[in-house]
Amino acid sequence: MSDKFEVVVIGSGPAGYVAAIRCAQLGMKTACVEQWVDDKQKTLLGGTCLNVGCIPSKALLDSSHKFVEAKDHFDVHGISTGKVNIDVATMLARKDKIVGQLTGGIAGLFKANGVTSVQGHGKVLAGKKVEVTAADGSVSTIDAEHVIIAAGSQPIDIPPAPIDNDVIVDSTGALAFDAVPKRLGVIGAGVIGLELGSVWSRLGAEVVVLEALDDFLPAMDAQIAKETKKVLTKQGLDIRMGCRVTGSEVSGAKKKTVTVSYMSGDEEKTEKFDKLIVAVGRKPSSKNLLAPGCGVNLDERGYIFVDDYCATEAPGVYAVGDVVRGPMLAHKGSEEGVMVAERITGKKTAINYDCIPNVIYTHPEVASVGQTEQQLKAAGEDYKIGVFPFVASGRALAANDSDGMVKLIADSKTDRILGCHIIGPSAADLVQQMVIAMEFGSSSEDIALTVFGHPTLSEAVHEAALAVNGHAIHIPNKKARKK
Ligand code: FAD
Ligand code: AMP
């Protein structure tokens, strides 16, 4: 390919494909280079998120949630079902169909917006050139006025538990077990470990989660993290904190198992599993991405070094999404993609990194935005808190789904909302209301004075806002908790 493009994007995940579409919308001649191909050598668009991340995991979480509902929770409604069975092959086929639909949708969007899709591995050369090595080995170079690197991330592997894609798998393998494992080990009690552990636990696996740290979900608000651990434990996840995995041994010929060794305090322990998921985090994909002299540098953790606006140190070269600093979240990368596209055309678009929602799609969901109570305490800020439990929500009770709470934190003096932390039904969608409120600089009183429909789960957010100043109606008000 000898064409010149105004923008070349490397990677078609949620950061890359959104950047490419926005650039094309803004009138720039845009190409998107993607290395991933299926077994027929057809380009697979959508990156981790669509192919092996957000979407397939949510498909399995929804299937397994419906299974648990039918098996354990229909009876209270007077519905009897007889024995409820799961056909794993059908569940996986449904997931694959959704993935196919969405990745095909990106191809359609590229066509509709005039983005040229280029198959191959992209490497940034000096002078804003991108070398592309196609799956058939052919090499070409594309000239660009601007390059956007959106190469994403991949699972971290650890020497004590090397992935064999049979017994020991990463998150991708855990989306495709062909049967429910009897005993499943999960290394890492992070978002991915908890979501995938939940899927297979709901379907009947005995799940043990081994986490090296002593604190559960340390980045989350501690009160919500404590409730999350309680609820997940009640659902059957055996979450063991302070357990660092030190080794693993696969044995057996026909029916393989893995024996995992781990340190619990000073004690060495072992556990035997049928399958083991390694979910210890993700690392930026920067292998063979940057040619010497291209001017793009990595930071000390291996992420591409960028400024607040995702510009690298090479003029005209940007990087967005998981390959740069910040939370590894699809929506964060997409917003960065839009920001870069718009800044290339001279707009002053910026991202408010303080207002990025974060969700764990367990049931109930766990969602947050803004600062946690412990962060505010450590910073010596004066804050006030309103908490409303879902057990006092008519809508949650009607849905037989009343575990959890909404916690809203506001500045003591200005009443400005500083953070919202929710564990509860539809927490992901509820927290979004507070993301908008925070973007608009709302006070808790603004939310308290807003009319919320009845009966809705949103009323719990309203009540938490009322509770901030001791005015909740549907719970007794504690003396406003102020620091
Ligand atoms: P990626 O999606 O990783 O895409 C990068 C793309 O670039 C890939 O297609 C790759 O093949 C391609 N590429 C890499 N290098 C090159 C190269 N040199 N040349 C050409 N192509 C290249 N996030 C959420 O926000 N919500 C969730 O619910 C959620 N759930 C998740 C569940 C799981 C199991 C996992 C694994 C992740 C989940 N994530 C979730 C994280 C989310 O998937 C990532 O944050 C997101 O995909 C990052 O987007 P990206 O575009 O930066 O990179
Ligand atoms: P996250 O980065 O949120 O996906 O979470 C990954 C989790 O894996 C972190 O909480 C780590 O502490 C944990 N972890 C990393 N290595 C090990 C290990 N060897 N044994 C147990 N847990 C680990």
Each residue of 325-384: pLDDT tens digit? 999 999 999 999 999 999 999 999 999 999 999 999 999 999 999 999 999 999 999 999
pTM of the predicted model, to two decimals? 0.97
- Cα-to-centroid distance, 390 and ligand 2 (Å): 31
Tell me, using a 6 A CB cutoff, whether residue 188 lines ligand 1.
no
Pocket of ligand 2 (CB under 6 A): 158, 160, 187-192, 210-213, 244-245, 279-281
List residues bridging with 261 in a β-sheet: 247, 270
**454 annotated active-site:** yes
Ramachandran assignment for 349, one of left (phi > 0), alpha (psi -120 to 50 degrees), beta (any other)? beta
Q: Which of 121, 454, 462, 474 is catalytic?
A: 454
3-state DSSP assignment of residue 302: coil
Q: Specify whether the CB–CB gap between 150 and 19 falls below 8 A.
A: yes
Distance between CA atoms of 313 and 307, rounded to whole angstroms? 8
Tell me the pairing of strands 139-149 and 129-133: antiparallel
Torsion over CA: 179, 180, 185, 190 (sign): positive
Q: Is 48 in the pocket of ligand 1 (CB under 6 A)?
A: yes
d(CA 1, CA 109): 22
CA of 41 to the centre of ligand 1 (A): 20
- Which residue bears the tokens 């995992």? 260
Note whether 430 and 461 are within 8 A (CB): yes
Q: Cα of 219 to ligand 2 centre, how many Å?
A: 13
Nearest-CA neighbor of 366 among 175, 216, 243? Answer: 216
Centroid of ligand 1 to alpha carbon of 210 (angstroms): 25
Alpha-carbon torsion 368, 370, 373, 378, what sign? positive
Q: Which ligand is nearest to the CA of 260?
A: 2
Report the pLDDT value the prediction gives residue 1, as an integer from 0 to 100.
52
Q: What is the pLDDT along the chain (483 residues), one digit of tens a residue?
A: 557 899 999 999 999 999 999 999 999 999 999 999 998 999 999 999 999 999 999 999 999 999 999 999 999 999 999 999 999 999 999 999 999 999 999 999 999 999 999 999 999 999 999 999 999 999 999 999 999 999 999 999 999 999 999 999 999 999 999 999 999 999 999 999 999 999 999 999 999 999 999 999 999 999 999 999 999 999 999 999 999 999 999 999 888 999 999 999 999 999 999 999 999 999 999 989 999 999 999 999 999 999 999 999 999 999 999 999 999 999 999 999 999 999 999 999 999 999 999 999 999 999 999 999 999 999 999 999 999 999 999 999 999 999 999 999 999 999 999 999 999 999 999 999 999 999 999 999 999 999 999 999 999 999 999 999 999 999 999 765 555
For the segment 85-101, what is each residue's pLDDT rounded down to a tens digit?
A: 999 999 999 999 999 99
Q: Nearest bound ligand to CA 191?
A: 2
Which ligand is the nearest neighbour of the Cα of 213? 2
44 SS3 class: coil
Provide the sign of the torsion angle of the four alpha carbons 60, 66, 69, 72, taken in this order. Answer: negative
Computed on alpha carbons and rounded to an integer, the radius of gyration of the chain in Å comes to 24
Please give the pLDDT value at position 461.
98
Q: Which atom of ligand 1 is nearest to the CA of 152?
A: 53
